[in-house]
Every structure is written in structure tokens, then in C-alpha cells.
Chain A
């Protein structure tokens, strides 16, 4: 599958790179120009926008270039809590997705090796959610657990939930949605590393009288680290910027707003571009710092 690409595929034979940098430049030029024009320039535009001041006597949404650093202070004051909530939700969802996905990946990648057909079917089922709109999938959960659904009524009748329990609009629902949405992104990279795991290492560990749990924590887990790192990044980054699950029309409510919702409403609804831009820059900066530290500490720099 294409997603195998994330779990840093072992670089095959060094393809004896030739020095002809002229051809390389020709091949790279369109892509570099594209990224410069539509990735780097927008980031600069975002930084400039984040420092804008409202136009004097201007209409709503009219701003002039300035160096209003106070925009950032204002945004931190107003959305500091939202920021913490976003990263908290994303962190919990990432951990949950990892705990749910690792056994799936282990089964498909290691235990099911003897049965390629089961392996193939299970893999297709893991990626099946990609083939159907994620907005509709999220809405499906909302409706399955809506207040008057039989699911909720059954749970209440069985006293698993209290009589006035809600799903939609709670932090649990948002984290549940995030976790659900990113399980495939977590499972696939872990699967690709586990699939290449040499089971003789596990046998060797057993031969040396390691208990199964010791073998798992000292052999299997470290060997699957590249997959875990890819999977957690593929989950954490989009989850912390997500605003679908937390949106009021989907699984969230007023008390579960994430930074994505704040950026969206500032930019597209109340036209406060500087605030939206400042939030975006801060979100990106925090994520880059987290990613850099994480990649460095887990010793998988070659991932990039």
C-alpha cells in the first residue's frame, strides 16, 4: 500500500548517485518553484497577516500592514486554554490510537504471516475507512450515539451510563472521534515495520530465557519504533489541528472547541485575519518544536 511509504522503507542499494546536478536541477525546478510559491510564500503571508492592525475607520475584515506584536499576546490571552485543550485532546487520542492499533498491526504483520489471504483481507479492512468520506463517518458516530438513539437508551437501561448522560458535545466524544479517525494512520506504519520484523530475534530472546513480556519490551517494541514514530506523528499533527470532530455540527460543543475551530471561525466567519494568522503561526511553531524534539529523542532522524 502507498502508506507503506511512511514507515521509512529501508533505503535499498545506494543507487550510485551521479554528479550531474544540472539534470537534477531541471527535475527539481518545477517542484521547488511550486513549494516556494504556494508553501513558503503563504507562510510569509501568514506571518505578515498575523502582525496586521485594523484599518482606521475601515470595514470589518479590513487590515493594514503593521508590526502589532500585541496580536499574539491578545490571542494567547483569549485562546490559551483552547490551545492547551487541543494538544491535550490530540495527545490522548494519539495514545489511545496507539494502544488500539498496535495489537492490530502485530496480528496482521507477525501472527498472520502464515496466512497471506487473512493478512491481505485484514489490511484492506484497515484502510477501508479511507474510501468513505470522513465527514460522513464522523456524523455516523454522532447519530449512533445521539441522545435519543437506541444505543444510548440501551446503555442507560443497563445502567452503564447515568440517566442524563450525553455523548455529543463532550470531550469524550471529540477524543473518541479523533481516535477513531486516526486508527488507520497509526496501524499502517506500525504494520509495515512489524511485517519486516525478523522473528528469529524473538526466538533468540526466548532461548535466552526472557519472559514473553521482556521479549516484547526489549526486542519487539524497540524494533518497531520507526513505525510507532511515523504513526504517532501522522496522528498527532493532524489531530491537533483538526476542527471537524470538535465542531458543534459534529461531535463537539461550545466547551470542546479546539484551536482549529478558533482559526476557522476567526478567518472565515468573523474575518479577524490577524488573530487567525497568529493562531496558525503559533500552532505550527509548537508542532514543529514537538516534532523536532520527538524525532531527535526517538533516534529516527532518517525518517525525514
Chain B
């Protein structure tokens, strides 16, 4: 007999827990349709106006565009640097492997507020003015370790015989990399890039210490929280949510179709 929490209890619990997780999302989405004035706290009736006038609320779209820009640049940097490190860590033996792994683990074990304050002290000491560049530097930093961990798992599952076959057939190192290694690593690299972008886009704590006068979307929400957040911020958040959910669902469906296709000839 297999252990079970009681046949029906566990599914019911899971459904309730998932509803609990989704309540604030539903709330944010619902209040993007609120006919509110200044503060978006009390329900004043249904309207589409916030969706059609998204950019008319001051600061909402500017901060959103900044967040997208920072997310794209930081993701590109972290993914490129991190993928190289992941390949080196799995595929090559070298001295100081332990210290290098530790150095990559440490940023993940460091609370954001410490990393934020550390970078800010460094910029302060060095006399660097905080702005877009310092935000990108900070975001690349905290994304890097997560990229390495994600891509490393993919490199480890890659059969080195495939690359050896490429070399045996007189492929140059560049050819072997771009025609064999890279395409096989691509799913891992894409997953790492998506994770990086999500981390960067939603980051507030490190950003706040290193942003100077630049506003990202989370910073805009934080600053506005004291005096009331415009409903347009809910519109942006809801739109991003729908887009991200669609991407995940589509990629899941594709992945499961591909898995079925690959499984078909065997059975």
C-alpha cells in the first residue's frame, strides 16, 4: 500500500493553496479596470480607460521602458558570461575549481540588501554617479550565478561523444561549438535568459541602492506606494503577466509535442 494523505484531501488542498497564491494576481488584474481617481484603493466602477490611457499616468511607461531596457542588456551580458563559465566548469579540469564554484555560490547566498549596499559603497568610494550603467552592472551581477547554475545542468547532460564525433570528422573548434555544442545547449541557455530577465525585471532592492535618479518599474511602484499607485501600473503589470504566461504555456506545449514526436518511433 502506498502512502497517501487521503485520496481527495491532497488535491483539494492543492487547489485551495493555488487559489491563495493567485488572489493578489486577480486583485491586481481586477483593479486595472477600476475607475479610480488618484489612488487605486477603493473600487469605483468598471472601466477600460486605464488600458487605453496607459502612458498618460506620469512615470508609468517611462519606468517600464527603462525596466525592459535594463532587463535586456543585463540578460545578454549575464547569459554570455555565465554560459562560458558553465561550459568551463563542467568540461574542463583546472585548479581552483572549488574556489571558483564557491565564488559563484556566494552571490546567491548573499541577501540582496547586502549586495546593494556593497555596490553602492563601492560606487560612492569610486565617485561613480549612479544611473542606468550602475543598475545594469548590479543586475548582471545577481543574474550571473543563476545563469551558471541553470546552464551547468544542461552542459552536464550533454553527451561529449557528440562533440568528439564532430572533431573526428575534422570540424574546427568553432564549427564544433556553433554546429553541435551551442544548438544542444540552447534550451538551457534560453531558460537561463528567461530567468535572468524575470529576476532583473522584478528586482527592487538592489536597484533602489544603485539607481540614482533613474526609475525602474518596481521602483516606481515602491515610491508611489506612499501616495497611491495609479491604476495604469496595474495595467502594465497585468499585461506583462498575460504575456509571460502565454510564452510559458506556448513553450510548454511545444516542448511536450516535441517530446511526443521523439518518443513515437521508439514505441
Q: Do A and B bind each other?
A: yes
Contact with A along B240-258 (1 / 0, CB 8 A): 1100110011001000100
B73 at the interface (CB under 8 A from A): no
Name the CB-closest residue of B to A243: B113
Cβ of B245 and Cβ of A128 under 8 Å apart? yes
B48 at the interface (CB under 8 A from A): no
Name the CB-closest residue of B to A86: B111
Cβ of A38 and Cβ of B84 under 8 Å apart? no
From A3, A267, A287, contact of B120 by CB (8 A)? A267
Cβ of A41 and Cβ of B122 under 8 Å apart? yes
Name the CB-closest residue of B to A249: B225
CA distance A119 to B157 in the complex (A): 23
Cβ of B144 and Cβ of A5 under 8 Å apart? no
Known: A21-B93, A220-B3. A13 touches B221 (CB 8 A): no
B119 at the interface (CB under 8 A from A): yes
A40 contacts across to B, CB distance below 8 A: 103
From A18, A128, A215, contact of B21 by CB (8 A)? A128
Known: A17-B90, A45-B125, A144-B23. A28 touches B100 (CB 8 A): yes
Q: Which of A76-84, A130-138, A161-169 is the contact stretch?
A: A130-138
B87 contacts across to A, CB distance below 8 A: 27
Count of A interface residues, CB-CB < 8 Å: 108
Known: A30-B84, A131-B240, A233-B109. A140 touches B3 (CB 8 A): no
Contacting A at CB under 8 A, from B164-221, are 191-192, 194-195, 198, 202, 204-205, 208-209, 217-218, 221
Cβ of A264 and Cβ of B245 under 8 Å apart? no
B101 at the interface (CB under 8 A from A): yes
Count of B interface residues, CB-CB < 8 Å: 104
Contacting B at CB under 8 A, from A230-276, are 233, 237-238, 240-244, 249-250, 259-260, 263-264, 267-268, 273, 276
CA distance A134 to B222 in the complex (A): 10
Name the CB-closest residue of B to A146: B41
A199 contacts across to B, CB distance below 8 A: 2
Cβ of B205 and Cβ of A136 under 8 Å apart? no
CA distance A51 to B208 in the complex (A): 24
Name the CB-closest residue of B to A108: B14
Which of A34, A203, A288 lies at the interface centre, i.e. has the most chain B CB atoms within 10 A of its CB? A34
B22 at the interface (CB under 8 A from A): yes
Known: A42-B119, A103-B14. A17 touches B92 (CB 8 A): yes
Cβ of B92 and Cβ of A23 under 8 Å apart? yes
B118 at the interface (CB under 8 A from A): yes
Cβ of A122 and Cβ of B2 under 8 Å apart? no
CA distance A24 to B157 in the complex (A): 19
Known: A5-B153, A13-B159, A15-B156. A35 touches B221 (CB 8 A): no
Cβ of B111 and Cβ of A27 under 8 Å apart? no
Q: Is the interface of A mostly helix, strand, loop or mixed?
A: helix
Cβ of B21 and Cβ of A241 under 8 Å apart? no
What is the minimal beta-carbon distance from B145 to any residue of chain A, in angstroms? Answer: 9
A92 at the interface (CB under 8 A from B): no
A202 at the interface (CB under 8 A from B): yes
Q: Which of A66-74, A152-160, A277-285 is the contact stretch?
A: A277-285
A116 at the interface (CB under 8 A from B): yes
CA distance A124 to B22 in the complex (A): 11
Name the CB-closest residue of B to A33: B81
Cβ of B118 and Cβ of A280 under 8 Å apart? yes
Contacting B at CB under 8 A, from A79-138, are 100, 103-104, 106-108, 111, 116, 120, 122, 124-138
B238 at the interface (CB under 8 A from A): yes
What is the minimal beta-carbon distance from A71 to any residue of chain B, in angstroms? Answer: 14
| 20 A/B residue pairs, CB under 8 Å, sorted by A | A5-B149, A9-B153, A35-B104, A35-B144, A39-B107, A49-B125, A125-B21, A127-B248, A133-B217, A136-B233, A139-B221, A144-B27, A213-B3, A237-B110, A249-B222, A260-B113, A264-B113, A284-B111, A287-B110, A288-B109
Known: A106-B5, A133-B221, A215-B3. 17 other contacts (CB 8 A): A21-B93, A28-B100, A45-B118, A111-B4, A125-B22, A127-B248, A129-B21, A132-B238, A136-B229, A139-B225, A140-B25, A202-B2, A238-B111, A244-B204, A264-B208, A288-B109, A304-B101
Taking Cβ atoms with an 8 Å cutoff, the residues of A that contact B are 1-6, 9, 11-13, 15-21, 23-25, 27-28, 30-32, 34-35, 38-43, 45-46, 48-49, 100, 103-104, 106-108, 111, 116, 120, 122, 124-141, 143-144, 146, 180, 183-184, 199, 202-203, 205-206, 212-213, 215-216, 220, 233, 237-238, 240-244, 249-250, 259-260, 263-264, 267-268, 273, 276-277, 280-281, 283-284, 287-288, 291, 304
Taking Cβ atoms with an 8 Å cutoff, the residues of B that contact A are 1-5, 10-11, 13-14, 17-18, 20-25, 27-28, 31, 41, 81-82, 84-85, 87-95, 100-115, 117-122, 124-125, 137-138, 140-141, 144, 146, 148-150, 152-153, 155-160, 191-192, 194-195, 198, 202, 204-205, 208-209, 217-218, 221-222, 225-226, 229, 233-234, 237-238, 240-241, 244-245, 248-249, 252, 256
